[in-house]
Amino acid sequence: MRTVRRTAVLFALCLACLAAASAQGFYLKNGDRVVFYGDSITDQRLYTTFTETYVVTRFPRLPVSFIHSGWGGDRVTGGGGGPADLRLERDVFAHQPTVMTIMLGMNDGRYRAFDPQIFQIFADGYRHIIDSVKQHVPGIRITVIQPSPYDDVTRPPTFEGGYNAVLVRYGEFLKELAEKEKLTVADLNTPVVAALEKAKTANADLAQRIVPDRVHPGAGGHLLMAEALLKAWNAPALVAAVEIDAEGKHVARQENTQVSGLETSGGLAWNQQDEALPMPIDAKDATLMLAVRSSDFVEALDQEPLKVTGLTAARYSLRIDGDTVGSFSREQLAEGINLAELPTPMARQAADVHLLTLQHNHIHYARWRMIQVPFDKEEFAHKRAAMDAMDTLETEVIQKQRATAQPKSRRFELTPE
């Protein structure tokens, strides 16, 4: 008997260890400092800020910081912000990152058919960046990003084979380099191309707006790029999950949340304290929504299921904190609805977080690109004070961002119509 009991205890401990390992499977860790390095597509500060907001809302108690260091026109050799070595020293190493993403290639191919000599410049320059980063920041974790697409889907290619095929070849080199150097790799090309093809079938004119100039994606394209990066980082799909058995009057499932105070008189009501927020998506942006519908973004990263079985009325109204968020049939509720796709108070809270994400990045950009770099060789008496003041302001905004990301207890009411 003692042996059986001991075996059961050990089995339970193993299950607990496996659950903990699963919870800790996300790429980013406590105290990480992430630097996003790249060209104008990174400089747009869209896939990067979507990524940041996802992390802050999905892991609101995880202390991770983000620095956005993209510069328009950059190649592996550098660009308008200076040669690559200067860029790395000033815009990466100075921030003492533990994680770095690198997104280059769009400009390196020079918008022409594949040229072996041009490719060799890219390959040599990229290897130099990796070697330099590893030398200056030992132990850093690097994610190399296969270039996002040049849109040869919604418009005809400008030459035989198209420029995106060139970028795909560059991406294949990066995948091989990542394997050799033991780096993480994220493919930001394949899933966006697939979404463009699907979006073109659904709405050809609107699909062109996903990457409006064929190079720089709009918000919808960037959201899908953020998804690809987060997938490479093993990001979880689940926000929170609840299942209630109305007939049995009990909570059958609660995951990443805590349900309390279940009431079953005349309908259902309960309190819910989630551990995360959904990803904020602007449902009024038609192009962004076309991109979302043409992808697996919701399935892969934004699952907040609520399932209620054993209901008796034909339809029910769902209110959260007094706000009506939808009307659903008994069958829909039994199958489960995804709260992440509804205009809930949690979604509005997440949108407030994203606004603060944008604001702190705007402050960083202004400090870096309007004071630090332009006045680098100027000895103005108040230059340092101005940068310090902007750093302090950005810190305050980040503190508010993190405070705003903390989930709140919500009151749910499910009432027969």
> Domain check: are 95 and 193 in the same one?
yes
> Domain check: are 195 and 334 in the same one?
no
How many angstroms separate the CA atoms of 77 and 83, rounded?
6
> Domain check: are 226 and 254 in the same one?
no
How many angstroms separate the CA atoms of 257 and 130, rounded?
41
Report CA torsion sign: 402, 404, 408, 412: negative
Note the pLDDT of residue 382.
96
Partners of 259 in the beta sheet? 272
**Can you give the C-alpha Rg of the chain in angstroms?**
24
The answer to whether residue 62 sits within a structural domain is: yes
> Domain check: are 218 and 354 in the same one?
no
The answer to whether residue 13 sits within a structural domain is: no
Residues 231-240 as b/e (b if ≥16 CB within 10 A, e otherwise) read bbbebbbbbb
Residues of the chain with pLDDT under 70: 1-24
The answer to whether residue 219 sits within a structural domain is: yes
Note the pLDDT of residue 148.
98
> Domain check: are 167 and 269 in the same one?
no
Enclosing domain of residue 319: 240-275+304-417
Partners of 307 in the beta sheet? 243
Residue 56 tokens read as 């802050």
> Domain check: are 110 and 224 in the same one?
yes
> Domain check: are 172 and 252 in the same one?
no
> Domain check: are 198 and 328 in the same one?
no
Note the pLDDT of residue 16.
37
The answer to whether residue 2 sits within a structural domain is: no
Listed residue (98, 97, 104, 74) closest to 86, CA to CA: 74
The answer to whether residue 271 sits within a structural domain is: yes
Alpha-carbon distances, residue 80 vs 35, 111, 314 (angstroms): 19, 18, 63
Listed residue (236, 244, 217, 233) closest to 39, CA to CA: 217
The answer to whether residue 153 sits within a structural domain is: yes
Query: Pick from 211, 232, 253: which residue ends a domain?
Result: 232
pTM value? Answer: 0.93
Note the pLDDT of residue 266.
85
Number of domains in the chain: 2
Give the contacts of 383 (CB within 8 A, at least 6 positions apart). 371, 375
The full DSSP string for 234-295 is T---BS-EEEEETTTTEEEEEESEEEEEEE-SSSEEEEEEESS-PPP--TT-HHHHHHHHTS
> Domain check: are 94 and 225 in the same one?
yes
Give the contacts of 97 (CB within 8 A, at least 6 positions apart). 33, 34, 35, 67, 137, 140
Note the pLDDT of residue 8.
38
> Domain check: are 178 and 321 in the same one?
no
The answer to whether residue 6 sits within a structural domain is: no
The answer to whether residue 111 sits within a structural domain is: yes
Note the pLDDT of residue 9.
39
How many angstroms separate the CA atoms of 124 and 233, rounded?
26
The DSSP call for residue 339 is: G
Query: Pick from 232, 250, 267: which residue ends a domain?
Result: 232
Note the pLDDT of residue 24.
62
> Domain check: are 60 and 141 in the same one?
yes
What's the CATH code of the domain at 177?
A: 3.40.50.1110
Note the pLDDT of residue 15.
35
Note the pLDDT of residue 19.
34
> Domain check: are 382 and 256 in the same one?
yes
Query: Pick from 232, 267, 293: which residue ends a domain?
Result: 232
